[in-house]
Amino acid sequence: EAEVAQSPRYKITEKSQAVAFWCDPISGHATLYWYRQILGQGPELLVQFQDESVVDDSQLPKDRFSAERLKGVDSTLKIQPAELGDSAMYLCASSFRTEGSGELFFGEGSRLTVL
């Protein structure tokens, strides 16, 4: 069964360091999402791609976060510099459809701890 791949699963870093997460969506899925989930809360959308274009990044803290999907396939989310409040689970998801009822398929997530 096709899955969304994410790495690393766990990352521990010190504040002010740079950190990067990688996501490979299900083949053929045009839409890719990065969500941040703080413990005890629901996932918060950070950025949404349609192929290689950003559809929505209104909640992405652009002073320290960046995301790219250069060839419209896999994607990287970067944080520089990391802050204590960035400790969270970073979830990548993909969807086949661009409009309407496209179910999102999630990867296992990358859990970030900033010390």
Partner 1 sequence: GQNIDQPTEMTATEGAIVQINCTYQTSGFNGLFWYQQHAGEAPTFLSYNVLDGLEEKGRFSSFLSRSKGYSYLLLKELQMKDSASYLCAVTGGYNKLIFGAGTRLAVHP
Cα–Cα nearest to 74, from 97, 92, 87, 57 = 92
Q: Any contact of residue 99 with partner 1 (CB under 8 A)?
A: yes
Smaller CB separation from partner 1, 29 or 65: 29
CA distance 47 to 93: 11
Is residue 108 near partner 1 by the rule CB under 8 A? yes
Residue 19, classed as helix, strand or coil, is: strand
Is residue 90 near partner 1 by the rule CB under 8 A?
Answer: no
Specify the residue, 81 or 111, whose C-beta has the smaller distance to partner 1: 111
**AA identity, residue 81:** P
Distance CA 110, CA 21 (A): 7
Whichever of 81 and 87 has its CB closer to partner 1, that residue is 87
56 touches partner 1 (CB under 8 A): yes
Which residue in the set 85, 98, 113, 115 belongs to the binding site for partner 1 (CB under 8 A)? 98
In sequence order, what DSSP letters do the residues of 5-28 get, joined into one string?
A: EEE-SEEEE-TT--EEEEEE--TT
Question: CA torsion sign, 86 to 87 to 91 to 92?
Answer: positive
The verdict on 76 binding partner 1 (CB under 8 A) reads no
Query: Among 44, 51, 62, 115, which residue sits at the site for partner 1 (rule: CB under 8 A)?
Result: 44
State the residues that interact with partner 1 by CB under 8 A: 31, 33, 35, 41-45, 48, 50, 55-56, 91, 95, 97-109, 111
